[in-house]
Amino acid sequence: MISFIDWSIRCFLLITVLAVFVPWIPSMPGAGLDPSWRFGLNQAVAQGISFGSELIFTLGPYASIYTGEYHPATNWLMLFGSIYLAINYWVVLICFMKERYWFWSVAYGVALAGIIPCYRDQLMFSYPLLLALLVYCFVSDQNKRNSWMRWIVPFLFLPLGLLPIIKGSLILLCCFVPLWCSWFCFFNRERFLAILCPLMGVMALLLFWIIAGASIIDLPHYFISIGNIISGYTEAMSSGYSEQIGKNQEILIYLGFCIILSGAIFFQKKISLGSKFFLLGVFGIFLFTAFKYGFVRHDGHALCASIALVITGLLVPCIIKSRFAYFVSILGVIGCLIIGSYNYLNISTIHRRIPDLYLHAWQEIIHRISDPTYYEKEFNRSLLALKDKAHFPLLPGTTDIYSYDQSYLIASGNRWNPRPIFQSYSAYTPLLAEKNREHLLADKAPDNIFFNIQPIDDRIPSMEDGASWPALLTRYEPHQFINGFLLLEKRKNGVATEPVFLKQETCFLGETVKVSNQNELLFAQIKIQPTFLGRLLEFLFKPTQLKMVVTFENGTKKEYRLISKMILSGFLISPWIEEVKDFALLYGNINLLKEKRPVFFSIISEGFINFFWKKEYRVTFKELAILHDVNKANNQLIKK
């Protein structure tokens, strides 16, 4: 018989996971970098754009479950997908907490309501962890195995097929956990579960992909493209070590917790060696994923790492029956509050967030029932506000926008024709940059482009989508400036011209390299490689940053951040372009950019001692010649 307390706790957990998982109060489209990719992903689903081939990003067709942003075309995917995940999360949780002291169920529910929603990623990351621990409890407890659990557990692996097409960074966990559980089940003679654990996730993946309206043919491309993005993410999106002064203690706290947890598992006498190996692998992959996600960029992302500590801390006493497990739990909570403190994660904010969560969820459920069209009307009002702010005209044909601000373009009513990596800062590997360049050279290239230069993280402005600049300069022509954007129109019978090889030089870090000023448009491809230690550091944490110091004729020096994989694709080095008005001058009045031609540059590595980048690197210079057939209208544009 289930007691009243058990029923109450289960109802509390069900209400909590539904309130946390389901975006009852969805956000609306907005302006800026992050709002633009959120809106862009929803619009891609609405337009039937193929994920993995026509569009490449860190999220998939079910991204709205993660972002919680409303769009008429994805609203049902967001709601039903979120509810499905919430119910599965609840089932895993109550099965795992079954026969455990009620305190830990309530404590985890409180964490779900007050801490975990601070960073939605951990809702997704924690599911594979909980599922693996449930498998461990079921398989290890040989004397109390329930036959009904043997049939329920395989179905709980189905969400592992949905999670990777919500957010690509979940691929590692969703691949590792089924295989790890399969090995553990096989090792403990649970062959039925050993076969079904990985199989159910694959079946669900295919089903959810089809439900989203995507083609099965695009599914392999989706995973390949996610691999390409992940391979360049760490260096491209990391924050510098110099920016972490004062934050290193947070990393030490996190690593210290991981060491103590490992010791608590390894020195547990009542657990077999195989079980210890399994638990170390499960907690290890979860904490490693949260560590990379939280500390590579080390801004608000650190909340992901801090929440991982409290999740782990609350689950360990349910696995390990010892007093030391309680110590680990306390450390997890304290570590979470310390790391999350600078992001306003503290007792007072948690105390206010918990009642608000339930109250707002209930109000919005009533609101949705009483006025089913409310959010669609709010969506249309948001689009109208964005349209009025951008003042983009309605253009014939298809249109794209650089480098982000997709919200303005989509809201304007123009037919969006995105390049595969539709925000330029994300084209941070040669393969990704080449896909964007090929898009401009194809027959289906956009007829119009709203162009702006919007570098992030102090990067070289011409480095973002730098491989596409020759195609932009030779296949398109400027028309007018609109609200800070340069409107480019595709030339009739325009043929893209590629830069011509000039020379190649071997240089060294810290060395001053001379830049020729005799060439009209000088492009550079720089090949600088990490050492073995550098590659290892990038895998385990993040590499030291590269910087370029540029010297101009008047003696002015400017420092920019380099991304090794991006400069390998090529970028315009002379004249030095920093804003869109300078870019417009490249189409005809290039002589006005004489003062913006660098004479020297040097590349340096962050830190006093460099063991992580090879001292020798290679620079290839190329020249791009443009036929100056600029008409009077373009000359008037440039003068403005």
497-537 pLDDT, tens digit each: 889 999 999 999 999 999 987 778 999 999 999 999 999 99
Same-domain pairing of 199 and 247: no
At 1 the pLDDT is 52
At 357 the pLDDT is 87
AA identity, residue 324: F
Same-domain pairing of 23 and 117: yes
Q: Decide if 199 is inside a domain.
A: yes
Q: Decide if 374 is inside a domain.
A: no
Q: Are 134 and 159 in contact (CB under 8 A)?
A: no
Segment 102-130 mean pLDDT = 87
Q: Decide if 618 is inside a domain.
A: yes
- Please give the tally of structural domains in the chain: 4
User: Domain boundary at 211, 237, 263, which?
Assistant: 237
Same-domain pairing of 76 and 136: yes
Query: Chain centroid to CA 586: how far?
Result: 33
Question: Of 257 and 239, which is predicted with more confidence?
Answer: 257
Nearest alpha carbon to residue 627 among 595, 599, 586? 586
Segment 104-114 mean pLDDT = 89
CA distances from 66 to 21, 208, 276 (A): 9, 15, 33
Strands 485-490 and 571-574 come out as: unpaired
Q: Are 85 and 159 in contact (CB under 8 A)?
A: yes
Same-domain pairing of 145 and 18: yes
pTM over 0.95: no
Strands 398-401 and 448-451 come out as: parallel
Segment 365-392 mean pLDDT = 93
**Per mean pLDDT, which range of 176-190, 385-399, 588-602 is the poorest?**
588-602
Q: Are 181 and 130 in contact (CB under 8 A)?
A: no
At 630 the pLDDT is 46
Query: Token pair for residue 419?
Result: 């390049």
Q: Are 257 and 309 in contact (CB under 8 A)?
A: yes
- Show Cβ contacts of residue 280 under 8 Å, excluding neighbours closer than 6 positions: 262, 265, 266
Same-domain pairing of 159 and 284: no
At 278 the pLDDT is 96
User: Domain boundary at 434, 458, 490, which?
Assistant: 490
Q: Decide if 365 is inside a domain.
A: no
Q: Decide if 364 is inside a domain.
A: no
Same-domain pairing of 225 and 136: yes
AA identity, residue 49: I
Segment 30-39 mean pLDDT = 95
Alpha-carbon torsion angle 146, 152, 157, 161, nearest 10 = 170
Same-domain pairing of 278 and 229: no
Alpha-carbon torsion angle 427, 78, 179, 87, nearest 10 = 160
Segment 246-267 mean pLDDT = 90
Same-domain pairing of 395 and 538: no
Which residues, in sequence order, are bridge partners of residue 55?
51
CA distances from 257 to 107, 331, 592 (A): 19, 7, 58
At 243 the pLDDT is 58
Q: Decide if 375 is inside a domain.
A: no
Q: Decide if 518 is inside a domain.
A: yes
Same-domain pairing of 101 and 175: yes
Q: Are 62 and 170 in contact (CB under 8 A)?
A: no
Q: What is the DSSP letter of 58?
A: S
User: Domain boundary at 212, 237, 262, which?
Assistant: 237
Residue 227: domain span: 1-237
Query: Helix 102-114 vs helix 347-370: angle between axes, to the nearest 10 degrees?
Result: 80
Kindly report the average pLDDT of the chain as a whole number. 90
Same-domain pairing of 151 and 221: yes
**Per mean pLDDT, which range of 25-29, 105-109, 117-121 is the poorest?**
117-121
Same-domain pairing of 426 and 486: yes
Question: What CATH number corresponds to the domain at position 633?
Answer: 2.60.120
Name the band, by pLDDT with cuts 50, 70 and 90, for residue 632: very low
> pLDDT tens digits, residue range 433-464?
999 999 999 989 999 999 999 999 999 999 99
Tell me how far apart the alpha carbons of residues 116 and 530 are, in angstroms, rounded to a whole number: 36
Q: Are 64 and 41 in contact (CB under 8 A)?
A: yes
Segment 131-139 mean pLDDT = 93
Q: Are 336 and 111 in contact (CB under 8 A)?
A: no
Same-domain pairing of 523 and 417: no
Q: Decide if 363 is inside a domain.
A: no
Segment 71-98 mean pLDDT = 94
At 631 the pLDDT is 42
Residue positions counted in the chain: 640
